[in-house]
Amino acid sequence: MSGTPAAARVCVLAAVLGAIWCTLPAYVPGAPVPWGTAALLAALGLACEAAGRRSPPGGPGPVAAGAFLPILLAAAFLLPPAAAALVAASGSPAGRVEQPPYAARRIWRAAQLALTCAAASWTYAAFGGPATLGGGGAAPDFPRALLPACAAAVAFSLVLTALDGLVLAAAERRPVHRSVYELLPLALGPHLVHALAGLMTAVLWRSPYGPLSALLVLLPMYLSCWVFARYHREQAAHRATIRALVHAVDIKDTYTRGHSERVGRASVLIARELGMDDRRVEGLRFAGILHDIGKLGVPTRVLRKDGPLTPEERRIMELHPEYGHEIVRGIGFLDEARDAILHHHERLDGSGYPYGLSGSRIPEFARVVAVADAFDAMTSTRSYRRARPVPAALAELKRCAGSQFDPRMVGALDRALRRHGWSEADTAVTADEPGEPYVPREPQGPREPQQGPHGREPYGAVAGARRDAPPVPRARSAAPLSGPSRDRRP
């Protein structure tokens, strides 16, 4: 525990002493503790936790610890508080610990679950729960048995999140109430479900069929936890893929470092304001993060050039949406995000690229990302200019709504920012930041006033018009990557 903050060590010590104090009544001579039941539940819990440390068939990674919680709640329903605390403390150290200090985390987990289980058992008894379980020839009293079980689940969640909040406050100096406020809504629902499974386990345990029948409940719970664990591993793999792609772009193009993540956040704000479901919101987040992935196909000398681009270089730069579409074509989970990557430089009036789409022919995701991209470009501090204030950026977006941007998306961003704001961290410098030596710096030299390193306006389309030079015809030349079929041009 040498690397653990002193305040966190005090919390762990206090929790351990509290857990020991909770278990002391079980050792009093003549205490009504069904040691056989406690031993069987402890063995089941230990088996579930040990199994959770191994990879399930068909994929890497541990099974979620959720299979252990119905056993803890069944112990809270079947045993007095002291014995329930012993069951929790005996099984929890076998669970998987992801980060050091491993010993301290195992000790903390054992003490935390012992206190939590004791609180749930005490609450269950206070609501008259043991009398509703049946046994000894009596039938369980449904639905009255549900109230004590739900009360115990609420107590379980409250104590668990309060202890988590306490140790987070000690280790990270964040308010306890904030941690509880964030964690409790996430924990309460699953704990209510686990309480129902624990209640069925306790009822079957007390029934004439005995403890073996409880496996009828625990085995499906274990399998469901395995399925959820596979789903979360798949999502983690998706996020790792996205991070790797974005990291590659950030290394190649220092001009847009950090820009992609902020566009992803702004896209999520717009999507939620439009009432999109969670699946589409996640897809838009991916679209925003990956919208510039096609820059991997643009020569580095073009990306890092100081000063205006030549007509040929501009033609190459304007191919990056098509390069991006080709790069992510085979990534199935991106779905609608691929269209956003391809079309996020289209304009509502048809003057954009790569295909000159207009109006509703531009995919919805692309219209969202276009607004988020423009907003971040204006509100981010670049190495050649300071950021615009958020109100000024919104005013510029509104001015260009209808010609360049979808007014519906601009309005959604405006409403979202009024509700949630846009923090200083979201407008960080996107190039030439110190402390990141893995990215080569751009050549130092004179810059044109208010121009980006590619000869662009701070956000060329939003600044009101094209550059003084006439627009460059979009004749397609050979490119490092083959873009989508050209017959898609209207």
pLDDT per position as a tens digit, 93-147: 766 666 777 788 888 889 999 999 999 999 999 999 888 887 666 778 888 889 9
- In this predicted structure, the answer to whether residue 476 has a pLDDT above a threshold of 60 is no
Phi, psi (5° rounding) for residue 135?
Answer: 100, 160
Check whether residue 16 and residue 46 sit in a common domain. yes
pLDDT at 9: 84
Q: How many C-beta atoms lie closer than 10 Å to residue 102's C-beta?
A: 11
Q: Give the model's pLDDT for residue 451.
A: 39
Whole-angstrom distance, CA of residue 256 vs CA of residue 249:
8
Residue 103: count of CB within 10 angstroms of its CB: 11
**Rounded Cα gap, residues 331 and 244, in angstroms:** 13
Which one-letter DSSP state was computed for residue 140?
P
Q: How far is CA 355 from CA 197, 331, 486, in A?
A: 56, 23, 9
pLDDT reported for residue 43: 86
Those residues whose C-beta lies under 8 Å from the C-beta of residue 441, and which sit 6 or more positions away, are 254, 432
Task: Return the structure tokens found at 204.
Answer: 């079957």
CA atoms of 312 and 324, how far apart (whole Å)? 19
* Structure-token match 């085979």, residue found: 330
| Rounded mean pLDDT, 305-329 | 89
13 compared with 169, residue with greater pLDDT: 13
> Are 400 and 324 in the same domain?
yes
With bands split at pLDDT 50, 70 and 90, how would you rate the model's confidence at 433? Answer: very low
Instruction: Confirm whether 105 is domain-assigned.
Output: yes
**Same domain? 375 vs 464:** yes
> 212 and 262: one domain?
no
- What is the per-residue pLDDT for 414? 95
Query: Angle between the 6-23 and 81-91 helix axes, to the nearest 10 degrees?
Result: 130
Q: What is the pLDDT of residues 28-40, one digit of tens each?
A: 988 888 998 899 8
Inside any domain, residue 373? yes
Tell me what pLDDT residue 96 has.
Answer: 67
On the question of pLDDT at 334 being above 70, the answer is yes
> Which is nearest to 69 in space by CA: 39, 38, 92?
92
Q: Structural domain of residue 199, as residue ranges? A: 6-232
Higher pLDDT, 349 or 167: 349
pLDDT at 58: 39
Cβ-contact 450, 385 below 8 angstroms: yes
Structural domains of the chain, count: 2
User: Do 284 and 376 reside in the same domain of the chain?
Assistant: yes
pLDDT for the residue numbered 140: 80
Same-domain pairing of 272 and 213:
no
Cis peptide before 143 (omega within 30 of 0): yes
What pLDDT shows up at residue 361? 94
The answer to whether residues 172 and 276 belong to one domain is no
Spatial CA neighbour of 336 closest among 267, 269, 287: 287
What one-character-per-residue DSSP string does 280-331 give? HHHHHHHHHHHTTGGGGGS-HHHHT--SPPPHHHHHHHTTHHHHHHHHHTT-
Distances (CA, A) of 336 to 271, 281, 321, 466: 13, 11, 14, 29
243 domain-assigned: no
Residue 389, domain member (yes or no): yes
The residues that bridge with 385 in the sheet, in sequence order, are 382
- Which among 232, 262, 291 is the end of a domain? 232
What are the two backbone dihedrals, phi and then psi, of residue 223, each rounded to the nearest 5 degrees?
-65, -40
pLDDT of residue 314 exceeding 60, the answer is yes
pTM over 0.85: no
User: Tell me, what CATH number does 459's domain have?
Assistant: 1.10.3210.10
Question: What pLDDT score does 165 carry?
Answer: 85
Q: With 90 as the cut, is the pLDDT of residue 445 above it?
A: no
Say how far apart CA 119 and CA 240 lie, in whole Å: 39
Same domain, yes or no: 217 and 268: no
Residue 413 lies in a domain: yes
Q: Are residue 273 and residue 349 in the same domain, yes or no?
A: yes
Amino acid at 341: I
Mean pLDDT score of the chain: 78
CB-based contact 393:376 (threshold 8 Å): no
∠ Cα 213 82 67 (to 5°): 40
Summarize the confidence of residues 39-59 as an average pLDDT: 67
47/267: higher pLDDT = 267
Q: Are residues 281 and 142 in the same domain?
A: no
Last residue of a domain, one of 172, 203, 232: 232
| Residue 242 maps to a domain | no
Buried b (16+ CB within 10 A) or exposed e, 181-207: eebbeebbeebebbbbbbbbbbbbbbb
246 found inside a domain: no
Same domain, 272 and 202: no
Stretch 35-53: mean pLDDT, rounded?
79
Q: Which has the closest alpha carbon to 337: 376, 293, 386, 303?
A: 293
CB neighbour list of residue 430: distance below 8 Å, 6 or more residues apart: 255, 256, 257, 258, 259, 380, 381, 382
Give residue 336's pLDDT. 84
Query: How long a stretch of residues is the chain?
Result: 490
**What DSSP string runs through 335-390?**
TTHHHHHHHTT--TTS--SSS---GGGS-HHHHHHHHHHHHHHHHS-BTTBPPPPH
Residue 240 falls inside a structural domain: no
- 105-112 CB contacts, 8 Å cutoff, 24+ apart: 107/12, 107/16, 108/11, 108/12, 108/15, 108/167, 110/19, 111/12, 111/15, 111/16, 111/18, 111/19, 112/15, 112/160, 112/163, 112/164
Q: How far is CA 257 from the centre of its chain?
A: 21
Please check whether residues 285 and 201 belong to one and the same domain: no
Decide if pLDDT at 383 tops 70. no
Task: Flag the least confident range among 21-25, 136-140, 224-228, 435-439.
Answer: 435-439
